[in-house]
Amino acid sequence: MRRALELARKAEGDTSPNPMVGAVIVREGTIVGEGYHQRAGLPHAEIEALRSAGEAARGATLYVTLEPCNHHGRTPPCTEAIIEAGLARVVYAVPDPNPQVAGGGHRRLQEAGIAVVGGLCAEEAQHLNRFFFHHVQSGQPYVVAKFAMSLDGKIATRTGHSQWITGETARARAHSLRRRVDAILVGVDTVLADNPLLTTRLPDIAAPKHPLRVVLDSAGAPAGCAGPLARHARPDAHCHHRRHAPCV
């Protein structure tokens, strides 16, 4: 299951609105197949693992970080593929939280004569997909408040001249967080004072995913967004703000 969690994590930031899921197929103590869900619309982790195992999946055990789905979404249900492949046992970490399908995958596999066990490494798996679980269970987005603060509780120097009060490590962490979220929200004053790009910049990733940029402006004037941004934004950021950041 630890290997399955490791595989799931490979798609961090790429699977929204789906969760990250990893799967490993083991036969007689040897890994014969593995896979993970790479992006919404692409095959689920179980299918990737079954494909990589081929015939070796017959009579084997599947370890998967989320209860296999039993419903037709953008892809057919994984339960049917698991049954067809002849797996003997399925071990999953956490139940599918979606109220419409909760427990359905577990039941369907059991009815087909497969031994099913849930709850292995549940805490790790829950933590890995905390954004997803929170959203499905509450209907609310998972919100992360991120700010840099000095020891005396300030977010900038008195003159406002320092562009950053953090070091490189903190900034790298902020960019890695941007990659994992769907949207980033700032007040219009931040845009006017700092003119941030709000993009994801990670040296190891050539084309990282950028969050949707949202600017809050209490003045709410029809031209309130484009106006100040057009005046203050850098030429390269300007069009992005207008194109991607709705004024709310």
Q: Which residues bind Zn ion (CB under 5 A)?
A: 44, 69, 78
What's phi and psi for 118, nearest 5 deg? Answer: -115, 160
**Residue 46 appears among annotated catalytic residues:** yes
Cβ nearer to Zn ion, comparing 82 with 225: 82
Q: How far is the CB of 2 from Zn ion (least distance, A)?
A: 21
Q: Which two tokens stand for residue 241?
A: 């703000």
Cβ nearer to Zn ion, comparing 98 with 199: 98
Q: How far is the CB of 105 from Zn ion (least distance, A)?
A: 8
Q: How far is the CB of 21 from Zn ion (least distance, A)?
A: 8
Cβ nearer to Zn ion, comparing 78 with 181: 78
Question: DSSP characters for 64-128?
Answer: EEEPPP-S-SSS--HHHHHHHHT-SEEEEEE----TTTTTHHHHHHHHTT-EEEE-TTHHHHHHH
Q: How far is the CB of 30 from Zn ion (least distance, A)?
A: 24
If you search the block for the tokens 């037709």, which residue do you land on? 72
Closest CA to 188 of 240, 233, 158, 235: 233
Q: Determine the Cα–Cα distance for residues 226 and 75; give it in Å rounded to an integer.
A: 40
Paired sense of beta strands 212-216 and 183-187, if any: parallel
Q: Which two tokens stand for residue 61?
A: 């055990």
Distance of CA 116 to the CA centre of its chain: 26
Q: How far is the CB of 49 from Zn ion (least distance, A)?
A: 11
Catalytic residue of the set 34, 46, 48, 67: 46
Query: Which one-letter DSSP state was computed for residue 57?
Result: G
Cβ nearer to Zn ion, comparing 74 with 173: 74
The catalytic residues are 46
